[in-house]
A and B are shown apart, each in its own frame.
Chain A
Amino acid sequence: NAGVTQTPKFQVLKTGQSMTLQCAQDMNHNSMYWYRQDPGMGLRLIYYSASEGTTDKGEVPNGYNVSRLNKREFSLRLESAAPSQTSVYFCASSEAYIRVGTEAFFGQGTRLTVV
């Protein structure tokens, strides 16, 4: 039972470099999310995709882009990494329509350091 799989688990980038964080889920969920976690800040929503073909900005979208490649995959791209983007990134998924029993499932996280 893979659930939500994120790659890579760790990454170090130089300022200005670009990279894509990959996320895939095998639970047939419609909704997928990208969060970042910083000390003392909890998890903050970067972008989300309510269904295949749609994406929406969350609380902290600046400096990021996303692609919902298909129902399974939702990638997060940093075009020009900055030290302020040093963080732990989590991908999550859930059913599209929120009802009894709905919960979000999370990947293992990616620790990204921008130097």
Chain B
Amino acid sequence: AQTVTQSQPEMSVQEAETVTLSCTYDTSENNYYLFWYKQPPSRQMILVIRQEAYKQQNATENRFSVNFQKAAKSFSLKISDSQLGDTAMYFCAFMKHGGYSTLTFGKGTMLLVSP
């Protein structure tokens, strides 16, 4: 079974600054996917970024990038130029490749962006 750990229950950052959210996971699988989901106060789950484990290159999506360290089983999310709209709960999630699979989530990190 997979486990996903987010060790930072809450974080805060000022507008325009950079913040990094941490995530570690444990799995015996070699091929898998990692995700960061954002949940704003509206409750909607929004996919922020996805990383395929077989890819060495770290994924980026505009102001969002990841630092994927497969050997260390670490998958952190960096948000650059933080905006007020980034205020949300962020969840790290794992899904194994191939066949039927489900998402395993971490407990989440609440990010507050202040002016």
Residues of chain A having any CB pair with chain B under 8 Å: 31, 33, 35, 40-45, 48, 50-51, 58, 88, 90, 92, 96-100, 102-104, 106, 108-109, 111
Contact = CB atoms under 8 A, between A and B. Distances in A.
B98 A97 contact: yes
B interface, how many residues as a size bin?
A: 20 to 34
A33 B102 contact: yes
Interface string B98-115: 111111111110000000
A58 B102 contact: yes
B111 to A, nearest CB: 15
Contact of B108 (A42, A45, A88): A42
21 contacts: A33-B103, A41-B107, A42-B107, A43-B103, A43-B105, A45-B104, A58-B102, A92-B103, A97-B98, A98-B33, A98-B97, A98-B98, A98-B99, A98-B101, A103-B35, A103-B47, A104-B95, A106-B44, A106-B45, A108-B43, A111-B43
